[in-house]
Amino acid sequence: MTTWAYRPRPSLATTSQPMVARTAAQPGNQAVLRRLSASAGAAPQQTKGAAEAPCPPFHSFPEDIYQAMEAAWKRTNHGGEEVTEHGGRIVSDWRGKRKIRTGVGESESIHLPEEKFGDDTLSTFHTHPYSKAKGAHLGVGFSSDDIKGFVLGQQGGADYVTAGSCNFALTVADPAKRDACQDVDFEKRFRPVFNTTSGGVQNAVNQGNKAAIAGCGLCYYQACRPDPNSPIPRVGVLI
């Protein structure tokens, strides 16, 4: 089966934003967790940004994927001279058993492993490392081609990225709307917003992505560690 397996990274070169290595202050994961526990059992709240699709306000990262991303990140050599993307395909195999098939990409792209006979892809993940020469950015979310690959399908119901300080998730709220966006030029939607958004490259990427997926039935989540010594939270917040 042909899959969209080659996904180049976004160019950050045309932005006039100051390149910061740490992500800008996030909307408080501790506050999120407090809200989560306070609203346990309550119906999901609609939040800003969810107007076009019924996106739940939070997304819990599956523990096996969380662990796999952490392990993959350690292999990227982020911040070094040469970096390598790592990733994986989470499948239900021919026996119906959940498995993570891992793969290695290049410095700015990921080659996801192909499905094996009988596999049903549930989701995929990959890393976003940056070399020292490229700014060693942490916390940079999905690229336009990541979004395109996800919309074109065969990647299951969720796509995950780890960027060292933050994990990101793309999920599907409305499959029909997603399918109607197969011909969308996501880069064309992304770039002008990215180029004019302040607050650091991470925020510019997030806002660009939000504009790119508007109306496409997708939900975009971010989970960032509150400081360099803390783990990345297991729960992402809707962007």
Binding site for Zn ion (CB under 5 A): 143, 146
**Cβ nearer to Zn ion, comparing 143 with 207:** 143
| Burial group, residue 71, by CB count within 10 angstroms (0-12, 13-18, 19+) | middle
Shortest Cβ distance from residue 105 to Zn ion (Å)?
Answer: 9
Shortest Cβ distance from residue 35 to Zn ion (Å)?
Answer: 29
**Cβ nearer to Zn ion, comparing 32 with 204:** 204
Shortest Cβ distance from residue 75 to Zn ion (Å)?
Answer: 16
Task: Name every residue whose Cβ is closer than 8 Å to that of residue 35 and which is 6 or more positions away in sequence.
Answer: none
Rounded Cα distance, 100 and 123, in Å = 9
Q: Residues 69, 127: contact at Cβ < 8 Å?
A: yes
Distance of CA 150 to the CA centre of its chain: 10
Half-sphere exposure of 165 (CA within 13 A, CB side): 19
**Cβ nearer to Zn ion, comparing 108 with 119:** 108
Rounded Cα distance, 76 and 72, in Å = 7
**Cβ nearer to Zn ion, comparing 57 with 167:** 167
**Cβ nearer to Zn ion, comparing 5 with 122:** 5
Q: Tell me if residue 126 falls in helix, strand or coil.
A: strand
Shortest Cβ distance from residue 33 to Zn ion (Å)?
Answer: 27
Shortest Cβ distance from residue 202 to Zn ion (Å)?
Answer: 14
Residue nearest to Zn ion (CB): 146
